[in-house]
């Protein structure tokens, strides 16, 4: 049996077979197999990924206030659209479905009129929550199963950073970093670009990497935002994720943003624990905004999670605690969760929120009332 430090033996054998068949594969191909190969890929397996028992915490794990505040933002979006009789919320990469469940419960309790109109559709390659019976929620394995021309909102939370990325390095010209195999295991191989779109990506941004600088290119994200724009007839797209504007993400001195997560620890070696660890790369929000415009998606706003939750009214969710005693423990935990969502240098700064709109005239969304940073994209 292959040691766990190397990864799942069946998955390693499959990737090795493909490498030996082709001579080398792009890192995007490797990452796709490592994360999404049926039954054994990180996201396709039944391993626990979220929460204290998993590999990382999400905002949903930290506090239910996250869902409550997004319910408030969605209610405003519904009002901006003229309170249609059906407002579809599509969560892509829904995983356990906890975010949509939190939002649905909050809408039911806070906005009963809106609740009559809202319709949730969850999309995930591994439908962990498909067995849950809820007439307000339907489950899909791909976004292609949803009929286009919807009115409503498409949400992703920590999805885009997990799309397979190409890795490149700037030498005399832009080269690509492939995955090969030797007697010592998987190795990096530098060769010509596999796709002309990789150089076009940087040309569109007007960016040239420094000599020897490595970077990740998420072509999958560009295809994804196009498909989302085609699906939406009128409404909004919310992208919640780690990321930066392109000029910061690719500035000289940086050497890529690839990170791996395992049991609440981070490392930068994706060629170990294959199938057992998450692999991510920071999102280029500038390119999401640029390509979104090609399919009719205009930027409504972009900001940090801290500023976004401030704009919606996060402090109104704080519970009064007069003294430290056993009767106030729930209130302390509630307030501590809010603090973690907002933490400077933590979730409050690391997570960004991009909202794009289509068929709506320059909406003034509550989430950007405190500070909108879209001018930096």
Average pLDDT for 358-375: 95
The pLDDT-based confidence of 270 (bands split at 50, 70, 90) is very high
- Kindly list the domain boundaries of the chain, sorted by start residue: 2-376
Which pLDDT value is given to residue 39? 87
Q: Residue 323 pLDDT > 50, yes or no?
A: no
Which pLDDT value is given to residue 4? 59
Which pLDDT value is given to residue 345? 73
Q: Which residues of 135-148 are buried (b: 16+ CB within 10 A; e: fewer)?
A: eebebbeebeebee
* Contact (Cβ atoms closer than 8 angstroms) between residue 274 and residue 16: no
The pLDDT-based confidence of 135 (bands split at 50, 70, 90) is low
Please name the fold of domain 2-376.
Rossmann fold (3.40.50)
CA distance 265 to 281: 16
Average pLDDT for 84-99: 91
* Contact (Cβ atoms closer than 8 angstroms) between residue 110 and residue 72: yes
CA distance 89 to 94: 12
Q: Residue 324 pLDDT > 50, yes or no?
A: no
The model's pTM is 0.90
Which pLDDT value is given to residue 200? 97
Which pLDDT value is given to residue 59? 61
Which pLDDT value is given to residue 132? 53
Q: Helix axis angle, 98-110 relative to 65-80, nearest 10°?
A: 60
What mean pLDDT value characterizes the chain?
87
Average pLDDT for 172-184: 94
Q: Residue 52 pLDDT > 70, yes or no?
A: no
Average pLDDT for 210-236: 97
Exposed / middle / buried, residue 340 (Cβ in 10 Å: 0-12, 13-18, 19+): middle
Q: What percent of the chain has pLDDT over 70?
A: 85
Highest mean pLDDT among 117-121, 134-138, 309-313: 117-121
Tokens of 354: 């991009």
More confident residue, 324 or 23: 23
Strands 278-280 and 265-267: unpaired
CA distance 280 to 265: 13
* Contact (Cβ atoms closer than 8 angstroms) between residue 115 and residue 184: no
Average pLDDT for 144-154: 94
More confident residue, 46 or 275: 275
Average pLDDT for 303-320: 79
Q: Residue 167 pLDDT > 60, yes or no?
A: yes
Backbone angles phi and psi of 214, in degrees to 5: -100, 155
240-250 confidence digits (pLDDT tens): 999 999 999 99
Which pLDDT value is given to residue 45? 78
More confident residue, 326 or 93: 93
Helix, strand or coil for residue 18? helix
To which residue do tokens 């659209």 refer? 81
Question: 18-32, 115-129, 131-145, 146-160: which has the minimum mean pLDDT?
Answer: 131-145
Tokens of 210: 């420094």
CA distance 42 to 45: 6
Average pLDDT for 285-310: 95
């Amino acid at each position: 049996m292959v040691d766990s430090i190397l990864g799942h033996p069946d998955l390693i054998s499959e990737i090795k077979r493909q490498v030996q068949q082709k001579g080398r594969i792009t890192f995007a191909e490797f990452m796709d197999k490592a994360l999404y190969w049926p039954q054994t890929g990180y996201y396709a397996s039944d391993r626990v990924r979220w929460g204290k028992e998993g590999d990382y915490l999400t905002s949903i794990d930290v506090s239910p206030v996250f869902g409550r505040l997004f319910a408030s933002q969605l209610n405003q979006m519904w009002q901006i659209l003229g309170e249609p009789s059906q407002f579809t919320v599509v969560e892509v990469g829904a995983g356990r479905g906890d975010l949509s469940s939190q939002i649905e419960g909050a809408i039911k309790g806070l906005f009963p009129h809106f609740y009559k109109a809202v319709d949730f559709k969850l999309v995930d390659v591994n439908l962990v929550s498909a067995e849950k019976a809820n007439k307000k929620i339907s489950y899909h394995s791909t976004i292609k199963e949803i009929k286009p021309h919807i009115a409503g909102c498409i949400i992703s939370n920590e999805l885009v950073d997990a799309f397979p990325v190409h890795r490149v390095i700037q030498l005399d010209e832009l080269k690509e970093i492939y995955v090969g195999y030797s007697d010592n295991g998987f190795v990096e191989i530098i060769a010509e670009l596999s796709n002309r779109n990789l150089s076009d990506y940087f040309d569109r941004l007007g960016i040239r990497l420094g000599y020897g600088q490595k970077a990740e290119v998420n072509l999958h994200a560009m295809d994804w935002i196009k498909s989302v724009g085609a699906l939406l007839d009128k409404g909004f797209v919310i992208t919640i994720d780690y990321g930066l504007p392109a000029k910061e993400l690719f500035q000289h001195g940086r050497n890529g943003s690839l990170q791996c997560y395992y049991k609440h620890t981070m490392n930068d070696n994706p060629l170990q624990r294959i199938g057992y660890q998450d692999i991510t790369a920071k999102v280029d929000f500038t390119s999401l905004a640029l390509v979104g415009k090609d399919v009719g998606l205009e930027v409504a706003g972009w900001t940090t999670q801290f500023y976004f939750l401030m704009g919606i009214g996060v402090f109104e969710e704080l519970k009064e605690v007069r003294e430290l005693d056993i009767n106030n423990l729930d209130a302390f935990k509630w307030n501590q969760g809010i603090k973690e969502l907002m933490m400077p240098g933590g979730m409050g700064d690391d997570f960004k929120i991009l909202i794009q709109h289509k068929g709506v005239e320059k909406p003034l969304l509550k989430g950007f009332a405190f500070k909108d940073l879209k001018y930096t994209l």
